Amino acid sequence: MLAQLTSVSDPAVAGQAEELVGLLVEFYGAGLARIVELLDEHALTPLLEDNFLASLLVLHDLHPRSTEERVLEALETVRPYLGSHAGDVEYLGLDSDNVVKLRLAGSCDGCPSSAVTVKLAIEKSIEEAAPEVTD
């Protein structure tokens, strides 16, 4: 939709439309910031557990946990599944482009698709916990 607005033949109208979208995003971001400010940690927990709401908090840099903390939490939640496939994962770090560095360990004898299965489980878990992480 934004692409359609920016392709309008009048550049002034396109610029105003982009500015309006930016102001709206800023406005609802300020509203979210106020909500986070008013809630105590206990009341904020359900918001953080909802992937959609947590993503909005990340978008506006309002999530109380760092990207690294959320990635580590995601890895802990997927470890039992990895163990069931005789695998594990080692966290090596997060670079400045939000790319997570991991080392996969273990294997699943007789299970040719286990590496793919394990990789997908890890990616899904990290994506849900830290949507700002890139491949």
Nearest residue to 95 (alpha-carbon basis) of 39, 37, 134:
134
pTM: 0.76
Are 65 and 94 within 8 A, CB to CB?
A: no
Return d(Cα 133, Cα 94) in angstroms, integer.
Answer: 9
> Across residues 83-96, what is the average pLDDT?
89
Are 45 and 117 within 8 A, CB to CB?
A: no
Neighbours of 118 (CB within 10 A): 24
Q: Which helix (H) or strand (E) holds 22?
A: helix 11-38
Q: Mind listing the pLDDT tens digit for each residue in 49-78?
A: 998 999 999 999 999 999 999 999 999 999
Extents of the domains making up the chain = 2-59, 67-129
Are 68 and 75 within 8 A, CB to CB?
A: no
> Across residues 95-121, what is the average pLDDT?
79
Tell me which CATH homologous superfamily contains domain 67-129: Fe-S cluster assembly (FSCA) (3.30.300.130)
